[in-house]
Amino acid sequence: MTQITLIQATLQDIITLQIIGKETFYETFAPHNTEESMNEYLEKNFTEEKLGKELTHPDSQFFIAWENDQAIGYLKVNSGNAQTELQDDQALEIERIYVKAAYHGKKVGQILYEKALDIAKEQHKSWLWLGVWEENKKAIRFYEKNGFTAFDKHIFRMGEEEQTDIMMRKTLE
């Protein structure tokens, strides 16, 4: 595998984010959800308008993982009031780490996670947190390996179905 490069996304990257976001979300969750629910979620959550608002929010950052000229994954982190739930000034939320299925097991997720960790340290945050679907055992193991522990649960709606996310956190030194 060639070297992976992380580049912070700007509005000029909105189409790339839209494509990689839809593709990786679909790869991750389509086997466990109806086609109707998946299409509804993708159409609602990956519009240029919604991504544009997220990209320009001062407390959110996106990074795209590139292998040569191929976008292979991305990271979204939130601080302050951009956090989806807790909005703790001492915390950084990892809202999304998604990697194309063909790159699973090739350390791309780890590179993206380490970028989030670096940002948390640069911003002098006390802890990182995230939500991960309780059925995504692979992701849960990844976060546990990186020192996260479960501390709560919340509901994620996918179409008409309620799914449980495990909220996990990692305290930083």
Q: What are phi and psi of 88, to 5 degrees?
A: -95, 125
Angle of helix 14-29 relative to helix 35-45, nearest 10 degrees, comes to 160
Residue 98 has pLDDT above 60, yes or no: yes
Residue 114 has pLDDT above 80, yes or no: yes
3-state class of 85 per DSSP?
Answer: coil
Q: What are phi and psi of 159, to 5 degrees?
A: 65, -130
Q: Calculate Rg over the CA atoms of the chain.
A: 15
What is the mean predicted confidence (pLDDT) over 84-105? 94
Q: Which amino acid is at 84?
A: T
Residues near 144 by Cβ (< 8 Å), separated by ≥ 6? 168
Which residue numbers are catalytic?
A: 143
Give residue 86's pLDDT: 83
